[in-house]
Amino acid sequence: MPAYKTVKINPALPNRPRASVLVIYTGGTLGMVFEKGNLVPFDFEQILDKLPEIKRLDFEITFTSLEEIMDSSNMRPEVWAEIANLIQRNYAFYDSFVILHGTDTMAYTASALSFMLQNLHKPVILTGAQLPIGVARTDARENIITALEIAAAQTDGQPLVPEVCIYFQNYLLRGNRAKKKESSQFNAFRSENYPALAEVGVTIEYNRPYIASYRTDAPFGVQAQLDANVAILKLFPGMTQNVVRSVLSISGLRGVVLETFGAGNAPTLPWFLHELKEATERGIIILNVSQCDGGRVMQGRYQTSSWFDKIGVVSGGDITTEAAITKMMWILGQETDHNLIRQRLSQPLAGEMSL
């Protein structure tokens, strides 16, 4: 097990802190500072110099970081497991968790964690920034401070947001509903198919009917086993049989997220039908997800999707591709029975889809 350095800050002293939050730094633009003209990850032990505003919060904050600080393009299942296990080991000691993460794959990490962290009843808030913390106009400051406020928010001693979320530029989104939509504007994330869980202005307005309810009837646990023998196949007009066949014949492949057109439609060309049918007969699980960000797959609505049901392609409803691929990895990590895998894929496991 890696040795994690930690820094604890208790600005509430001498008063009792109203909550305790563990911040896990994983990397990304947010944590970069200029050193000799280059951007390098900052040493989080200097957090108070970079973010003096933290001293005005009235709860206890502990910072720790992964051993490998990374650009989130290098994120992978082993690191998701490391984060999930870190949360599990600290679960009893903190009221909530904030994960500082690069924006590029934040929606994948949030989705993966939403499946791995079972019966979660504490907030896990991911945030990041478009500009490094060392830059004058950085968005990091507001994002971190508000993510901390949301993580510490309680009502009657219970957390207000007991789920995995992304906080970014004034919006708190359900993590497995969010997508990175912007690479230059500050408002980087959207959730087209699920309302924001909170909107932040002068006050933080929580959208309570849409926030997962606080339940402690089952104990928290981590299931971090994933199977990455999966692929995403995005359809486009003119796609050749060679491409489809090559993907579907990858050795060891167990599942494919098929990014289809509109409400879940695909070509009715005989070779296409044949390749997909043959793949499902070989036991490859296919999940139908729309290329559109808003709306949902409605298998059977058009003739161009009606044959999917017949060959056992699972409808992903209104799931995002990020949630679909991580859900597939997670279910394949737990199950081997094909019917059970299809059944679990078609049901919401962590609020990632609406039926």
Residues that bind ligand ASP (CB under 6 A): 27-29, 71-73, 102-104, 128, 130
Q: Are 9 and 16 in contact (CB under 8 A)?
A: no
Q: How many helices (H) and strands (E) does the chain have?
A: 9, 21
Task: Give the Cβ contact number of residue 133 at 10 Å.
Answer: 21
Question: Closest CB to ligand ASP among 290 and 326?
Answer: 326
Catalytic residue among 26, 29, 260, 321: 29
Q: How far is the CB of 110 from ligand ASP (least distance, A)?
A: 13
Question: Closest CB to ligand ASP among 68 and 281?
Answer: 68
Cis peptide leading into 132, omega within 30 of 0? Answer: no
Q: How far is the CB of 183 from ligand ASP (least distance, A)?
A: 8
Question: Closest CB to ligand ASP among 27 and 77?
Answer: 27
DSSP state of 183: S
Six token digits for residue 185: 């504007």
C-alpha to C-alpha distance for 183 and 202, rounded to whole angstroms:
26
In the residue annotation, 127 being an active-site residue is answered as: no
Q: Are 308 and 250 in contact (CB under 8 A)?
A: no
Q: How far is the CB of 196 from ligand ASP (least distance, A)?
A: 20
Six token digits for residue 251: 């050795």
C-alpha to C-alpha distance for 196 and 31, rounded to whole angstroms:
26
Question: Closest CB to ligand ASP among 135 and 239?
Answer: 135
Q: How far is the CB of 188 from ligand ASP (least distance, A)?
A: 7
Q: How many residues does the chain have?
A: 355
C-alpha to C-alpha distance for 7 and 110, rounded to whole angstroms:
24
Question: Closest CB to ligand ASP among 73 and 242?
Answer: 73
Residue with tokens 């994983």: 26
Q: How far is the CB of 134 from ligand ASP (least distance, A)?
A: 14
- What is the set of active-site residues? 29
